[in-house]
Amino acid sequence: MKPLIAIGGIPFDRPIDQHSRNMIYYIPQGYIHAVEAAGGIPVVIPPSTNLSQVDVLLERVDGILLAGGSDVSPLNYGQEPHPKLGAINERRDLFEIELVEQAMKRNIPILGICRGLQIINVALGGTLYQDLSENPAFTIKHQQYGTNWDTPTHSVKLLQPSILDEVFANQKRPVVNSLHHQAINQLAPGTTALAQSHDGLIEAFQVDNKDVLAIQWHPEAQYLHDANQLKLFSWLITMAQN
């Protein structure tokens, strides 16, 4: 049977004229289509304020995909807000942190993308740069706004043997797209960095002895033009079937 993959929905908490001034949850279609293309059944889940529902949810799904979106609140890793902190949603933060913690206890595989990487790191005890300007060593442009999202814009270095060797087909200088202004500062205990940009920003990590993979770029925007990027979603589907 095809595995059921829960994709964390993104709150949009401002009224939408096209939706009769209602507020909505949404997910970019690339995540949905990539899960389907990899052989899974996607189900979008809204971030509930009732965290006890997480256990019920995890009884019914086989894998978790955490998508991009708003900034992670620094209060969740013991910091005060930086002047360049963007929009946050504490409801989503708390729900996804609980989702990560409970899914790991149940050995349910997780793939985190962009903000998904960041929330996994925070859930496990790591910290973030609230804005890349906090580290003057970051000299590469990591926000490719104005450029098509499917266009790779900078290269990465692979640090450990992993699924990324297949994703990049053993390229000597693999390249990714880049759409973020927050990043990992302190990597969470019990994790291993898998890739970094050439200015030292952590681009991917795994959780040791768990089926948890986190990446900073956006393969859901690339896989139609780079079939190797679909292997990240195929990894999730394979782990969910085990």
Catalytic residue among 142, 154, 180, 218: 218
Tokens representing 91 are 């409801």
Give yes or no: 142 in active site.
Answer: no
Q: Does residue 114 have an active-site annotation? A: yes
**Catalytic residue, candidates 96, 98, 114, 180:** 114
For residue 38, the Cα-to-chain-centroid distance in whole angstroms is 17
- The yes-or-no answer on residue 134 being catalytic is no
User: Quick check: 89 and 13 in contact, CB under 8 A?
Assistant: yes
In the set 96, 98, 203, 220, the catalytic residue is 220
Q: How far is CA 126 from the centre of its chain?
A: 15
Contact 3, 237 (CB under 8 A): yes
Q: Catalytic residue numbers? A: 114, 218, 220
